[in-house]
Amino acid sequence: MRPALASALMPFVRGLDPEGAHELSLRALNWGLAGRERRPDDPILAVQALGLSFSNPLGLAAGFDKNAVAVLPLMRLGFGFVEAGTATLRPQVGNPRPRVFRLEEDRAVINRLGFNNAGLEAYTANLAALPRPLPAVLGANVGINKDSTTPERDYPELYRRAAALVDYVTVNVSSPNTPGLRDLQGEARLAAILDAVLAARAEMPRRPPVLVKIAPDLSEAAMEAIVGTCLDRDIAGLIVSNTTIARPDTLRSPQKREAGGLSGRPLFQASTELLRRVHRLSRGRLTLIGAGGVENGETAYAKIKAGASLVQTYAAFAYGGPAMIPRLKRDLAARLRRDGFPNLAAAVGAEA
């Protein structure tokens, strides 16, 4: 099945409740029903980042494949990288249902899943079973259990267990759905966690780079502290950003009052402005991944010009299906050529 045909079936999938539709989508991917992209990527989209080679800058954000059950079929759709997770040390059921809400009028999603996942044992077993080499870059996104009181021990253990199986590891301290998690973005607590992770990394024979995923709701002072903390250590980059607890006045859906993190189109402006500020502050010394409202070539290009070397999508993929991937890449390549950039790297931060 071609990605365009798979996308044509999306309205039927959206007739199900959001979480049920998501579970069905993961099964369909493993059944081969989503198809695969066989055309090679345009060379202008190739990028070197994090010490890795990406055939294109478009990635799938964490949260879509929490347990790494569909990594290979997702990569075959044409993503340049896939980030699986968030994985926690122990299995976790997450928050009570319903906990995912479509804001269709806004092309957005609200979720309060709460790091529901099968736990690190199942996650790493699925990663270990993947055939190598993989057709795209693989990232792991890790977080702590809701009842954890020892993040300085948990995050290093999560890194140790994932390090041999992935190309990079993201420390998630910014989901709004685990009580107290965002407090870990504070300067002293984040520094302690990152020092512990980097100490574990130093002991590993294979040392994938470490990234930190941050919230879009940070004050200027908090953002500056996080960037400084990362610059003072061997942190490779930041993912800017996670979902927001803010509710823009522009939201039209009756679901807008649901608690949880908002993702999708309404997050674009705030997350892109934060990305621009982080790029200015870090002065190119951190690799930035732009996330929040990436749905087409225009929005991906805006993130890149604001300072992102890579971008991630989630809500737009959930709405548009596999056909949005080749469409976005074609449009992005055309915009780079239109503006005279010889390659994607030349455009990074062009308007920051």
Q: Taking a C-beta distance cutoff of 8 angstroms, is the pair 99, 260 a contact? A: yes
CA distances from 92 to 89, 119, 151, 176 (A): 9, 7, 16, 16
Rg, Å, the chain Cα set: 19
Tokens of 274: 């934060």
CA distances from 210 to 195, 278, 289 (A): 11, 17, 13
148: annotated active-site residue: no
Q: Taking a C-beta distance cutoff of 8 angstroms, is the pair 77, 325 a contact? A: yes
**Catalytic hit among 175, 241, 271, 309:** 175
Instruction: Give CA–CA dist 324/298, Å, rounded.
Output: 13
Distance linking the first and last C-alpha atoms of the chain = 40
Does an H or E element contain 8, and which?
helix 3-8
Q: How many CA atoms lie within 13 A of 266 on its CB side?
A: 24
DSSP assignment of 112-153: ---S-B--HHHHHHHHHTS-SS-SSEEEEEE---TT-S-HHH
Quickly count: other Cβ atoms within 10 Å of residue 96's Cβ: 8
Catalytic residue ranges? 175
